Amino acid sequence: MAKIKAAFIGCGGRNGVHLQKCEAMGDVEYVGFCDIEEKKAYNYAERTKTDPEGKIFLNYKDLLANTNPEVIFIAVPPHQHGEIEPAIIEKGIPFLTEKPIALDMPTALRIEKMIKEKGIITATGFQDRYQNLTQIMKDYIKDKKVGLVTGAWYGGIPGAWWWRRMETSGGQLVEQNIHIFDQARYLFGEPLYVSCAGARGIVDGDKYGVPGYNVHDYSSAVIKFQSGVVATIFTACYAQGKSSMQSGMNIYCQDATLEYKLRNSLTIRDPQGEQYYERGEEQTGIMDKIFLDAIRTGDTSKILADYSEAVKSLRLCLACNESIETGKTIFF
Ligand SMILES: NC(=O)c1ccc[n+]([C@@H]2O[C@H](COP(=O)([O-])OP(=O)(O)OC[C@H]3O[C@@H](n4cnc5c(N)ncnc54)[C@H](O)[C@@H]3O)[C@@H](O)[C@H]2O)c1
């Protein structure tokens, strides 16, 4: 099989994972690495034993002007989305972009419209949709009556400079816990309305070595879904040391409960007894393979979160932030 020509915009942590998955697949040729920090782009070339000559770029425009990728992976800080994607779409190149896809709806909707007009194949980084555990949950609840759901991402104080600021990350709810919000949409459908309370005051940025920190320390969102499900989702980034609380999701059916431990395990308790499942094959690798296969074959049916799906999850998370700021319930 001919190798697929790939380029990477943003050569930090997350694209490093996509790169690793591409390396594991083996049928990928590397035609360009772009990062505003040259050294990071060089590191990717080194990792893949690629001759850096003509393949290292400090600006996505130069990458697009001087290379011919068949696919691009984008993993940049959230506030950097908006200009990169239209330039890629203009050239008709399929791309996988990391979540959150933007920090405001006009940007996301503008890009979505361009994607639809050009018929570009896209994927977004909602890796959890590809997990065996998520699929088991989805199949199990198909014919069940679900009432309440709780979800939580209980984590530590963010280190990255852009992560710890609202204007560059959207806060933990948008930047990180969007995974659980997206999973809720994937399992329970579209939301009707959301009300969210959030607060700051536990994390002192200077004291904890994260100057400029201005994101919410914690929040709790109550979402009513069109299906009738009511979900409460906790988001917290103030934990210190070892925490005994496991992030994940609990689903309360009429005759069963599902206890999902984030990217770890699932326990289903019902009249048949207790069924325990461990996470199977790592999900980002599955996601990336499905995406590259879709580009090769044109069959996009296995892509579980294209750009339009990510737009809807972004809308839900931005509505939570709006609710925190205004104290109002936000209707969709
Ligand atoms: N799907 C997931 O599970 C998952 C996991 C981790 C991170 N992410 C997402 O990936 C994104 C990036 O996170 P990360 O951990 O890789 O961050 P990072 O800081 O490690 O890497 C981002 C890289 O982008 C570079 N960059 C910044 N602006 C750029 C621009 N305009 N053009 C080219 N390069 C630019 C930076 O120099 C940096 O090297 C975030 O949106 C994050 O939420 C997703």
Distance 258 CA to ligand 1 centre (A): 33
pTM value? 0.98
Number of domains in the chain: 2
Cβ atoms 178, 99 nearer than 8 A:
yes
pLDDT at residue 244, as a whole number: 65
Ligand 1 nearest-atom number relative to CA 80: 31
State whether 33 and 114 are in the same domain: yes
Give mean pLDDT, residues 239-264.
Answer: 91
State whether 178 and 227 are in the same domain: yes
- Alpha-carbon distance of 304 to 36, in angstroms, equals 31
Digit-coded pLDDT (tens) for 56-110: 999 999 999 999 999 999 999 999 999 999 999 999 999 999 999 999 999 999 9
State whether 197 and 115 are in the same domain: no
State whether 151 and 300 are in the same domain: no
- Alpha-carbon distance of 163 to 115, in angstroms, equals 27
State whether 165 and 178 are in the same domain: yes
pLDDT at residue 245, as a whole number: 77
Distance 162 CA to ligand 1 centre (A): 9
Range of the domain at 222: 128-281+314-331
State whether 219 and 273 are in the same domain: yes
Structure tokens at 26: 């083996």
Give mean pLDDT, residues 140-144.
Answer: 96
State whether 107 and 242 are in the same domain: no
Residue ranges in 79-216 assigned as alpha helix (H): 84-90, 105-118, 132-141, 166-169, 171-175, 178-188
Distance 76 CA to ligand 1 centre (A): 3
| Closest residue CA from atom 38 of ligand 1 | 12
State the average pLDDT for the chain.
97
Structure tokens at 192: 């009707």
State whether 48 and 67 are in the same domain: yes
Ligand 1 nearest-atom number relative to CA 11: 39
| Closest residue CA from atom 11 of ligand 1 | 75
- Alpha-carbon distance of 235 to 198, in angstroms, equals 9
State whether 134 and 122 are in the same domain: no
For residue 42, the SS3 value is helix
Digit-coded pLDDT (tens) for 10-54: 999 999 999 999 999 999 999 999 999 999 999 999 999 999 999
pLDDT at residue 2, as a whole number: 85
- Alpha-carbon distance of 91 to 145, in angstroms, equals 47
Query: Could you give the percent of the chain with pLDDT greater than 90?
Result: 96
- Alpha-carbon distance of 42 to 136, in angstroms, equals 41
Q: Is the pLDDT of residue 246 over 90?
A: no
Distance 80 CA to ligand 1 centre (A): 9
Strands 71-74 and 257-261: unpaired
State whether 70 and 200 are in the same domain: no
Digit-coded pLDDT (tens) for 289-328: 999 999 999 999 999 999 999 999 999 999 999 999 999 9
Distance 70 CA to ligand 1 centre (A): 21
238-246: list long-range contacts, CB under 8 Å, 24+ apart. 238/156, 238/157, 238/202, 238/203, 239/154, 239/155, 239/156, 239/157, 240/156, 240/157, 243/154, 245/152, 245/154
Confidence of residue 252 (pLDDT cuts 50, 70, 90): very high
Digit-coded pLDDT (tens) for 145-187: 999 999 999 999 998 999 999 999 999 999 999 999 999 999 9
Strands laid side by side in the 4-9 sheet: 56-57, 28-34, 4-9, 71-74, 95-97, 122-124
Pocket of ligand 1 (CB under 6 A): 9-15, 34-37, 40, 60, 75-78, 80, 98-99, 125, 127, 160, 175
State whether 69 and 155 are in the same domain: no
Cβ atoms 70, 92 nearer than 8 A:
no
Distance 34 CA to ligand 1 centre (A): 12
pLDDT at residue 241, as a whole number: 79
State whether 179 and 264 are in the same domain: yes
Ligand 1 nearest-atom number relative to CA 15: 16
